[in-house]
Amino acid sequence: MNPTLAAPLAPFADALPVPRRLVAARQDGQLTVPIRAGAHRFHRDLPESAIWGYDGTVPGPTIEAERGQPVVVQWRNQLDGTLPVVVTTAPEAADTSGVPVQCVPGLSGGTPDQNAAALAGHAVVHLHGGLTPASYDGWAENLVAPGQDAVFGYPMGQRAALLWYHDHVMGVTRFGVYAGLAGLWIIRDQRERELGLPEGPPFEVPLLIQDRNFGLDEDGRLTGQLVHKTDPEVMEAFPPFTVVNGKVWPLLQVQPATYRLRVLNGCNARTYRLVLLRDGAPELHRITQIGTDHGLLRTPARVPPDGLVLASAERADLLVDFSGLEPGSELTLVNTAAAPFDGAPFPAASAQGAADPGRMLPYPHVMRFRVVPGPATRQTIPRELATDYRPPEPDVLAGAPRRTIALVERELNGQPNMLTMRELVTVGDYHTGPAVTVTDGEQTTRYRAVAAHFEDATTFFPVLGRYEVWQLINLTSDTHPIHIHLDPFQVLSRRPIRYEIPEHGIEDRAITATVTLERDPGDELGHTIDDNERGLKDTVRVNPGEIAEIAVRFTTYAGRYMYHCHILEHEDRDMMRPFVTMPAELMPFMA
């Protein structure tokens, strides 16, 4: 196979755009955001693309709010026309020269999906990371048709953090977000101001990272047409072009100063492992991570030695030191993560050579920074950041309810395998049917599946204010970023497992597997919790061959919420389930 592909677009040609800021306090907390069709140019040398966007832009405006100051948004669905994305499944996974078809533009012989082409703009907005009442959380089935409005109240009773808002329509979230329906939402608070962190331009820069693909005309030239392409072997779309704030491989001119980069992976499916290169060599020491999904860490963290891993929906708050660099110095942010991502390591020192179409990573570039003349300023990084949370006490967790979820891969006739999940409950020795047996040292627990599909009866009823431990068992060969709506959680452990699934072990509901808490001899993953994951998270990567445990405590709002894999192609095909938070005093009345 040809190890590299020539890029059909010039990298670092466009300046990094910064989305328009919509500061809620300047409008008394009352915002109106139209959801509109529009046109957007993803690259200097591309024609305009038809998109759907909040306020008609890609990304949407960045909404900025203050902790404790509620924001009301009137979401006005003014979409007209149909989905501006051609959706297709190519007939073959690779072209005649062996290059995966997802690494190249165009439809690769696929025919446009007529059902997707008929989508006419039903929308629903979810604020990811928001501590939001259930009625405003964007339940995937509560749709707003074109011509209708939704007025959602966001109390903002939560810590400063980078959140994002995006479309969440049942079964087609992957198309709405891909069409452009995503924007950032920043909450600010006093603690961040005490620390003197950069706020606003020029030194605070949000980076919304996505991947996109485009069509080809009859002469083989790129059109701006957005293309969502999958193949017979891979159900997720892994487009070849990385787009930051709406531009393919942009360039940001920086002063020799400390910048605060607020990074979000807003891809449908691709995980990034970011490495900062200068003259081909990694310079990760320039990066200090101060925050994660739900805001500040307790102490600053170094980026892991292989690079900063962000799966879909994960965020990182970074201080990057460009001081001491000569004007004209260039640093390039690259991605070393293969797709689909399985957690496999890749040394940062080899990042320069990460391009590999066979790993569905034809172009590792993400963006470039170029240092311009200016006064050199370096931010002193405080040693203590957040002071408002600690890990839950072991005795609290010892008595906490435990919930168990298996992530499974189901084989389907004539279709790619379906990645989905099963909610499990323990069964006694009397149980004779299919079961998942988990052996942890001396202790063996048997489970049966009680829910497989989104529409199956709800089985999770967490009580407000009480910690719970959720155990996620990954029986697939991919990493899944599992996202829980409402409150954040803390990652307790990742433990390696060995497992066996008999033939036809994963049926619709019946599931049979034998799981042992010990490392498989062929397993090369660390199964560690990185320092930058020891914060308040709302999305956790569950790697192949591991059980991840998290401690979650829901607060404040009772109601019906969702948890799901944030690979949108998985979420849309049932890797999503409801849960209902309840006040304690109502529990005796639950039948």
Separation between Cα atoms, residue 261 and residue 276, nearest integer Å: 13
Element (H, E) at 446: strand 443-451
Nearer to Cu ion, 316 or 472 (CB): 472
Number of residues located near Cu ion, criterion CB under 5 A: 5
Indicate the residue among 448 and 570 with the shorter CB distance to Cu ion: 570
565 lines the binding site for Cu ion (CB under 5 A): yes
The two beta strands, 287-292 and 295-302, are: antiparallel
| Window 442-481: residues binding Cu ion (CB under 5 A) | 480
For residues 230 and 255, which CB has a smaller minimum distance to Cu ion in the complex? Answer: 230
Query: d(Cα 281, Cα 350) in Å, to the nearest integer?
Result: 8
Q: Which range in 48-56, 127-135, 538-546, 564-572 contacts Cu ion by CB under 5 A?
A: 564-572
Distance from C-alpha of 436 to C-alpha of 475, rounded to nearest angstrom: 11
Are 138 and 151 in contact by the 8 Å Cβ rule? The answer is no
Pick the closer one to Cu ion by CB: 126 or 553: 126
- Write phi, then psi, for 427 (nearest 5 degrees): -125, 155
**C-beta of 569: minimal distance to Cu ion in Å?**
8
Closer to Cu ion by Cβ: residue 462 or 544: 544
Those residues with Cβ within 8 angstroms of residue 549's Cβ, 6 or more apart along the chain or in another chain: 469, 470, 471, 472, 491, 492, 493, 494, 495
Comparing every residue's Cβ against Cu ion, the nearest one is 565
Burial class (CB in 10 A: 0-12, 13-18, 19+), 506: buried
CB of 189 or CB of 231, closer to Cu ion: 231
- Name, in order, each residue with C-beta under 8 angstroms of 25's C-beta and a sequence gap of 6 or more: 64, 65, 66, 69
Which residue number, 175 or 322, has a Cβ lying nearer to Cu ion? Answer: 175
- Distance in angstroms (rounded) separating the CA atoms of residues 190 and 54: 29
Question: Which residue in the set 251, 267, 567, 576 belongs to the binding site for Cu ion (CB under 5 A)?
Answer: 567
Closest-CA residue to 211 (of 243, 234, 177): 243
CB of 418 to Cu ion, least distance (A): 10
Nearer to Cu ion, 262 or 570 (CB): 570
Instruction: Give the nearest distance from C-beta 174 to Cu ion in angstroms.
Output: 12
Span of 66-74, 341-349, 535-543, 567-575 interacting with Cu ion by CB under 5 A: 567-575
Does position 484 bind Cu ion by CB under 5 A?
A: no
**Rounded least distance, CB 323 to Cu ion, Å:** 40
Shortest Å, Cβ 554 to Cu ion: 22
Question: Measured from the CB of residue 342, what is the shortest distance to Cu ion in angstroms?
Answer: 12
- How far is 323 from 301, CA to CA, in rounded Å? 19
Structure tokens at 533: 């994951």
CB 103 → Cu ion: shortest distance, Å? Answer: 21
Residue 395 in tokens? 């005795």
Tell me what percent of the chain is helix, strand and coil, each rounded to the nearest 5.
Answer: 10, 40, 50
Binding of Cu ion by 570 (CB under 5 A): yes
CB nearer to Cu ion: pick between 325 and 339 = 339
Q: Is 560 exposed, middle or buried (0-12, 13-18, 19+ CB in 10 A)?
A: middle
- Nearer to Cu ion by Cβ, of 356 and 572: the residue is 572
Near Cu ion in 412-431, by CB under 5 A? 419
Q: In angstroms, rounded to a whole number, what is the distance separating the alpha carbons of residues 445 and 431?
A: 12
Query: Residue 542 belongs to what H/E stretch?
Result: strand 539-542
The conformational region for residue 293 under phi > 0 = left, psi -120 to 50 = alpha, else beta, is alpha
The least distance separating Cu ion from the CB of residue 133, rounded to whole angstroms, comes to 27
The position carrying tokens 């996109």 is 212
Q: Quick one: tokens of 328?
A: 């004209």
Rounded distance between C-alpha atoms, residue 492 and residue 77, angstroms:
41
Instruction: Using the minimum distance from each CB to Cu ion, give the nearer residue, 261 or 565.
Output: 565
Shortest distance in whole angstroms from residue 183 CB to Cu ion: 23
Of the listed pieces 23-31, 81-89, 344-352, 561-569, which binds Cu ion according to CB under 5 A?
A: 561-569
76 is an interface residue for Cu ion by CB under 5 A = no
Q: How far is the CB of 419 from Cu ion (least distance, A)?
A: 5
Alpha helices in 55-136 (DSSP H): 114-117
Residue 515 Cβ vs Cu ion, minimum distance, rounded to whole Å: 19
Residue 181 as a binder of Cu ion (CB under 5 A): the answer is: no
Task: List contacts with Cu ion (CB under 5 A).
Answer: 419, 480, 565, 567, 570
